[in-house]
Structure 1
């Protein structure tokens, strides 16, 4: 739906976006927030405020703090947080709420139901630790979460954004969500002006993994692959760029320190210059167990770098075997090492795959495409809905 020249359906509407971390909002949702403001909407961002309040406020968005902890799903433990969210929803009276990730979706959708929010949008990336973990506790929680999602996502005023067809199928077949309540918007988009191809650097090929340091990102397998390549004398450097966090799958800092001391991989820690990381690398690698649609690979593609990734939901959306990169089985070491060795030894193949990756990033995953699709969804759902702020 394209707004009329004289009136945008979003003008004068209030949109509340619930996301657990301010840094995540800035990296994944800030362009949507800016576009909403440009359309005349009042945008309220509810998040844990740490180090990224300034760019959110600079975009003209209002901030409301919450203590929502992104890890774990325990409504009894989080009763105070749910009560806090209920108070915010009642005070703000939004026309639309947009919940980002699993826990904000569960708690936010419940609060939206209790407070009568007209339109509820939930955005789920990958199915996350809860749907991949193999522990008995995770299996128990998985059953509870599936029942809650089935209740909350099937409400007539609810729509859920997913990033790949595998996750659409999962929610339909395993959770019982009505297909008409599911919308596929592939990823959060990539800034193709910020991430541009640069000539590959000289010297030993570098494979960079830009990721949170989590076990389920396949970091352990990548380290093992690097050890194997080192023993074989293959000329390649493997570089880990990213931080740990409070995710249950986070890798202990002591383990990262041991890896750094061993020297099979370079442990760089977090970086604020991701375009520079790709400019200084020849290959992007992400051996994750499951994704929604990984922003790090979108950025690598926009930067014109070939990829090595696992043949799992999300990764294979952008890493297309033989076209933009090489796919390997999840939780594998030898195939991962072989793919890295193949790209390290073949500059012409790297150039061909990287050029195609850039073209696909621009044509299918550019930030403006995702922003337009998201705002069009808002506009379509607002048709006939009275403005609550008047």
Structure 2
């Protein structure tokens, strides 16, 4: 009888972009794999890959306590109905709610993937502080399950939750990101012409989009010849989203080219010379792994997750967070110094081959599953 593995994730699109290779490999290794998420367009793609999908009443930013309790109950009911041997919980709400439900439902083994601590651990103010206190207690209860492994993408997030959640160090695994398919992101020579500087991300304040825009303004004022491309779309469900009004103003100003949501990131990076991510905090940003695979030098912030995705001074440059002047200076360095830029790009590809290849990441996850299988 095959072992039953259930992925619980907020958004099916995130599962497709960050966990699909793991699920497919688990299936090939004898697991019966199913997926549970909130409804959305990407659910059809999940089904096209042959996975049974369960719909959950998850929301991105639900604030109604009764609705959130309903989510926990729905996950609990699903666990009792299908009785998975292992559950793999991905993103903050599934990690917390899914662990609570798993403890109540008696699920044998749980993998909790902490892919970042989220907006609430970045935001300031009294309200955010109160919510953080509640989240800490929820993590503490959620991580009380005995047969549990918590996967972190960087050591800073690991150390935070070891402290606030009283997490047993023996339950911790460190796996550097979601990996990248090196065949899909080839390292091609830089194109000729004016250097292209690209930022690809959800358009959120805490991705450093505003700092990128201001850095582009500064470089234009300095007479630096470069094109600036902003790749991605707004995220209305996130309180930190850039607004359509902002986009209209930037479009009219003409400082950056707004490319919107794109699925051809490999081609866009191949057409770029530098990839930038001035984020305030990350788990381990997949876009920087993709940039490294494409052989592109990176400028990113010296914060958890971002600094873990590059080799500072070797495959890219680190700048202070929320500092558009330092960001502009670093971009200018790479725009002007072609040899340094290309050397860093080659080092990035070597880093991706050594640390971020999808085969390596998939194997690490399957090894975690095996640790939890004892007694099934």
Quick check: TM above 0.5? Answer: yes
Q: Within 5 A, what are the aligned runs for 1:336-351? A: 336-351=327-342
Maintained 8 Å contact 2:231/2:258? yes
Maintained 8 Å contact 1:226/1:265? yes
Q: Does 1:294 align with 2:280?
A: no
Distance 1:337 1:164, change over 3 A: same
Q: Does 1:319 align with 2:271?
A: no
- Equivalent of 1:140 in 130, 143, 149: 130
Deviations 1:212-253 (A, max 9, x none): 000001111111111111111111111110111111111111
Partner of 1:59: 49
1-side partners of 2:358 and 2:125: how far apart?
A: 37
2-side partners of 1:84 and 1:33: how far apart?
A: 22
2-side partners of 1:72 and 1:220: how far apart?
A: 26
Maintained 8 Å contact 1:187/1:292? yes
Shift of 1:175: 3.0
Partner of 2:103: 113
Maintained 8 Å contact 1:318/1:324? no
Maintained 8 Å contact 1:243/1:269? yes
Maintained 8 Å contact 2:215/2:328? yes
> Secondary structure of 1:216's partner?
helix
Partner of 2:352: 361
> Secondary structure of 2:300's partner?
strand
Partner of 1:170: 160
Aligned residue pair count: 375
Deviations 1:164-212 (A, max 9, x none): 1111111112332121121111101001000011111111111101100
Q: Within 5 A, what are the aligned runs for 1:251-270? A: 251-270=242-261
Partner of 1:93: 83
Maintained 8 Å contact 1:101/1:124? yes
> Secondary structure of 2:139's partner?
helix
Q: Any stretches of 5+ residues in structure 1 without a counterpart?
A: 1-10
TM-score by length of 2: 0.97
Partner of 1:47: 37
TM-score by length of 1: 0.93
Shift of 1:74: 5.3
2-side partners of 1:351 and 1:265: how far apart?
A: 23
Maintained 8 Å contact 1:288/1:309? yes
Maintained 8 Å contact 1:33/1:61? no
Maintained 8 Å contact 2:213/2:255? yes
2-side partners of 1:123 and 1:221: how far apart?
A: 29
1-side partners of 2:228 and 2:62: how far apart?
A: 32
Partner of 2:169: 179
> Secondary structure of 1:276's partner?
helix
Q: Within 5 A, what are the aligned runs for 1:187-198? A: 187-198=177-188
Distance 1:75 1:184, change over 3 A: farther
Shift of 1:118: 0.8
> Secondary structure of 2:150's partner?
strand
Maintained 8 Å contact 2:251/2:257? yes
Q: Any stretches of 5+ residues in structure 2 without a counterpart?
A: none
What do you get for the CA RMSD once the two structures are aligned? 1.3
- Equivalent of 1:329 in 315, 320, 327: 320
1-side partners of 2:238 and 2:152: how far apart?
A: 21
- Equivalent of 2:241 in 244, 250, 259: 250
Shift of 1:56: 2.1
1-side partners of 2:167 and 2:280: how far apart?
A: 24
2-side partners of 1:25 and 1:166: how far apart?
A: 24
Shift of 1:51: 2.1
Shift of 1:256: 1.3
Query: Displaced runs of 4+ in structure 1, greater than 6 A?
Result: none
> Secondary structure of 2:67's partner?
coil
Q: Does 1:16 align with 2:13?
A: no
Q: Does 1:227 align with 2:220?
A: no
Distance 1:74 1:290, change over 3 A: farther
Partner of 1:25: 15
Maintained 8 Å contact 1:73/1:103? no
> Secondary structure of 2:111's partner?
strand
Partner of 1:377: 368
Partner of 1:3: none
Q: Does 1:303 align with 2:294?
A: yes
